[in-house]
């Protein structure tokens, strides 16, 4: 069993790390916003369906620190470039759940080599999750501009709206994914076996 002292230490480390990552004075969220803008622009630049996407960081917009520009690929040639810009918050899209996961990973009492694997591997996987959310957010943005002529079929718009409302927009699923990912990467085979045996003993007690 995990000793109470270890649990208390881990809880204190989690609170301290999470607090530090959220402090505006450290500007870690601004660094993440730049990372998300560059990564998103690279991944989504040539968007499916002849779309074009560009992301930039911006100041003076409060929490909406990302400028999402969407257009069509064939409209990006020559001088008559046209499109639409929407303000998005990197905190809500990905930073808060990423900071939450990293705090959990750093607070977990693991050997440093295993902890490094959890932190780096988990960061990659949670970034992929964030990019999936962002993909749906961009799809939804296209459905809101009918003169683009992209993603305007009624069934298509309804399907995109469903995934936006039930997956991309709510913050709850991000935290749930972070916890599941943390458990999957942090708990080794020995701990899983112990947990399975404990659960089996609970649900199927020996007579």
pTM to 2 decimals? 0.86
Chain segment 44-91, per-residue pLDDT in tens: 999 998 999 999 999 887 889 999 999 999 888 776 778 999 999 999
Task: Please list, in sequence order, all residues whose beta carbon lies within 8 angstroms of the beta carbon of residue 109, skipping any fewer than 6 positions away.
Answer: 2, 6, 9, 10
The span from the CA of 114 to the CA of 103, in Å, is 15
Task: Write out the two tokens for 154.
Answer: 């009624």
- Contact by Cβ (8 Å): 51, 152: no
Task: Answer yes or no: is pLDDT of 165 > 80.
Answer: yes
Euclidean distance between the first and the last CA atom of the chain, given in angstroms as a whole number: 24
pLDDT at res. 110: 85
Contacts of 92 (CB under 8 A, 6+ apart): 63, 171
How many C-beta atoms surround the C-beta of residue 196 within 10 A? 10
Beta bridge partners, 69, equal 54, 85
Q: Where exactly are the structural domains of the chain?
A: 4-43+90-187
What is the reported pLDDT for 111? 87
Look over the chain and give the mean of its residue pLDDT values, rounded to a whole number: 88
């Amino acid at each position: 069993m995990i000793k109470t002292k270890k649990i208390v230490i881990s809880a204190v480390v989690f609170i301290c790390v999470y607090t530090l990552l959220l402090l505006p004075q450290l500007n870690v969220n601004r660094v993440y916003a730049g990372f998300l803008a560059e990564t998103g622009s690279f991944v989504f630049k040539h968007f499916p369906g002849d779309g074009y996407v560009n992301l930039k960081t911006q100041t003076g917009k409060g929490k909406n620190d990302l400028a999402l520009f969407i257009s069509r690929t064939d409209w990006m040639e020559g001088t008559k470039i046209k499109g639409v810009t929407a303000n998005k918050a990197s905190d809500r899209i990905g930073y808060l759940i990423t900071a939450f996961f990293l705090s959990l990973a750093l607070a977990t009492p693991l050997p440093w080599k295993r902890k490094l694997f959890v932190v780096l591997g988990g960061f990659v996987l949670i970034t992929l999750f964030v990019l999936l959310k962002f993909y749906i957010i961009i799809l939804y943005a296209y459905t809101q501009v009918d003169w683009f002529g992209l993603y305007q079929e009624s069934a298509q718009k309804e399907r995109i709206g469903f995934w936006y409302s039930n997956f991309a927009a709510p913050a709850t699923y991000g935290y749930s994914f972070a916890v599941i990912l943390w458990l999957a990467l942090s708990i080794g085979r020995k701990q899983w076996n112990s947990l399975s045996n404990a659960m089996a003993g609970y649900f199927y007690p020996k007579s």
